[in-house]
Chains A and B, each alone.
Chain A
Amino acid sequence: DIQMTQSPSSLSASVGDRVTITCRASQSISNFLNWYQQKPGKAPKLLIYAASNLQSGVPSRFSGSGSGTDFTLSISSLQPEDFAAYYCQQSYTTPRTFGQGTKVEIK
């Protein structure tokens, strides 16, 4: 299985901060990398697909980059509704695997 490792596991930030989360794959996955947001008690929501493509309806303060093994999710100006857990997931090969998650908390 391809291992997906996110860092950090958690972070504290203030409204308006720029936040960056990284995801590293154990082998090259080209750009087959997706990002999800999960709020407490809710189902995950797709934010970004194919490393850098914003899913319809997702605010433009979210962006993704990277290819090969190293990827980032950035939030340009953190908003109160962005405090949540974020997961990366590779869709390069079976079984599809997720990172362990990054929890973004209020400072």
Chain B
Amino acid sequence: EVQLVQSGAEVKKPGESLKISCKGSGYSFTSDWIGWVRQMPGKGLELMGIIYPGDSDTIYRPSFQGQVTISADKSINTAYLQWSSLKASDTAMYYCARRNGYVADAFDIWGQGTMVTVSS
């Protein structure tokens, strides 16, 4: 079964660092881009950036550049999203998703989501 499995929910304080993960299985993880999507409470979907695990080529949406770091470790089929200093406004659900060229670059497989809560 093709799937992406994300790490569990996190509760952090402002200023703390965090790294969440997304592990792929059932397909060639290095052959498809992985995107990270933010969904703030009660809001819509925003693509933050994408990474090609084969060579770690990464493209950030400008509004997220410098705010987060996206990385991947192809040896363990895992992509990451990290923050060096969290803010309350980072509170959101974060999804990883596979971008598949066979379906017009749509995101066809999604992780279950990681809820990040930042509160003092």
Contact = CB atoms under 8 A, between A and B. Distances in A.
Partners in one complex: yes
Interface of A: 31-32, 34, 36, 38, 43-46, 49-50, 53, 55, 87, 89, 91, 94-101
A50 B103 contact: yes
Contact of A89 (B59, B95, B106, B112): B106
Given A43-B95, A44-B95, A91 B104 contact: yes
B45 interface: yes
Given A32-B105, A43-B95, A96-B35, 5 more contacts: A34-B106, A44-B110, A46-B103, A49-B103, A97-B47
Given A87-B44, A94-B59, A95-B47, A43 B103 contact: no
Contact of A53 (B45, B104, B111, B112): B104
Nearest to B111: A43
A17 to B, nearest CB: 24
Most buried by A among B46, B47, B105: B105
Contacts of B111: 43
Contacts of A44: 37, 45, 95, 97, 107, 110
7 contacts: A34-B106, A34-B107, A43-B112, A44-B45, A44-B110, A46-B106, A96-B35
